Amino acid sequence: MTILDRYILKEFVKIFALILVSLAGLYLIVDFFERIRMFLSNHASPGQMASYFLLTLPMILSQMMPITVLLSTLLSFGILSKNCEITAMKANGLSLYRISLPVILTSLAICIATFFLSEFVTPYTNQMAKYVKLIEVQKREKLGSFRQNEIWYRGEKGIYNFSMFDPLTNTLKGIRIHFLDRGMNLYQRIDAKEAVWKDGGWLFEDLLVTTFNQDGVPSVEKIPSQVIALSEKPSDFSAVQKDTEEMSLLELSRFTKKLRSEGYDTIQYQTDMHGKIAFPLVSVILAVLGVSFSLKSERSGGVAQSIGLGIVIGFSYWIVFAFAISLGRAGTIPPVMAAWSANLLFGLAATIMFMRVKT
């Protein structure tokens, strides 16, 4: 690494750290005021509030990385251009491609770091933040767990086992309920394809009800649909079901394969799985875009202009990415296309602009 590379990298890293801290701080402040009523109504201690927000910090950092890379690139190269340092570098025989190489390689390293952060740190801290909020602050009793890609829940009447719970439609799938008496003896088992929360109750579909008499002899009855009286509501199961943000890529892949093998629709989970891979890579794309815009005109620098341009580009990417992901989850477009379309679109634009930069 040359002295010039170190100089460019130093300026980029300095601005990157400042912007990342600022964006994360702003996010935390907004999130704090959104949740302060919930904390106060549940008499949360300062330690519980602090631990919750600290545990959400890895997720915030992973989400802020791409826009931070973009703004840092725009500002650092914009300042270099405005101070005529780019012109001086070109006068010494350096091309603009070579000048931008340290920043692009650093953005690639940030991309890899973001992926590992999202894969190994964020799922665990998101689970812990959820535990602090629901168990420690809201004082909910921990009656269930997510093990072996299934929900296990200790209900009032017995032990429930579900393949999954869809919080968007309030639907339980792959249901196995063991009803126990006070002596912990099994007196009935219900197997069902799914159950939907409707009109304040659970409507079960395709039931197989097995009832055991006092001698333990079973009798089996098949019922098309029936409302089963369970005291638990959808909110009780949503507290146990892991969100995709609480799963690593490997765990989400195993969960998706399990659901697919059982015949359930996994489009939503496939889309989120591809999105976990596609999103971190946008840091490199946005860095190239930032370099291209900054060097398009060597005297077009300016902090306000760079920040405004960064917000427009970053917001545009978020709109395209979120819209494509929503289409993928709905099954309108294939999951791979949904996750990668924004990257392909902005990557193509970045490549064309970068190739047109005057060296």
Is the same domain home to 127 and 154?
Answer: no
> Is residue 349 one of the residues assigned to a domain?
yes
Is the same domain home to 52 and 102?
Answer: yes
> Is residue 252 one of the residues assigned to a domain?
no
* Rounded Cα gap, residues 230 and 26, in angstroms: 43
* Rounded Cα gap, residues 157 and 181, in angstroms: 8
pLDDT given for residue 347 in this prediction: 93
pLDDT given for residue 296 in this prediction: 65
Is the same domain home to 233 and 338?
Answer: no
* Rounded Cα gap, residues 283 and 281, in angstroms: 5
pLDDT given for residue 302 in this prediction: 55
Is the same domain home to 64 and 174?
Answer: no
Side chain identity, residue 92: N
pTM score, whole prediction? 0.84
Is the same domain home to 112 and 159?
Answer: no
> Is residue 84 one of the residues assigned to a domain?
yes
- Structural domain span for residue 90: 3-138+265-355
- Rounded to a whole number of angstroms, the distance between the first and last alpha carbons of the chain is 21
Is the same domain home to 130 and 153?
Answer: no
Is the same domain home to 222 and 333?
Answer: no
> Is residue 258 one of the residues assigned to a domain?
no
Is the same domain home to 110 and 154?
Answer: no
Overall number of domains in the chain? 2
User: Are the beta carbons of 156 and 231 closer than 8 angstroms?
Assistant: yes
Residues of the chain scoring pLDDT < 50:
301
pLDDT given for residue 303 in this prediction: 58
Is the same domain home to 150 and 166?
Answer: yes
pLDDT given for residue 333 in this prediction: 94
> Is residue 195 one of the residues assigned to a domain?
yes
Is the same domain home to 115 and 150?
Answer: no
Structure-block tokens of residue 53:
């927000």
Is the same domain home to 305 and 220?
Answer: no
* The domain boundary residue, chosen from 177, 203, 238: 238
Is the same domain home to 325 and 288?
Answer: yes
pLDDT given for residue 55 in this prediction: 96
> Is residue 251 one of the residues assigned to a domain?
no
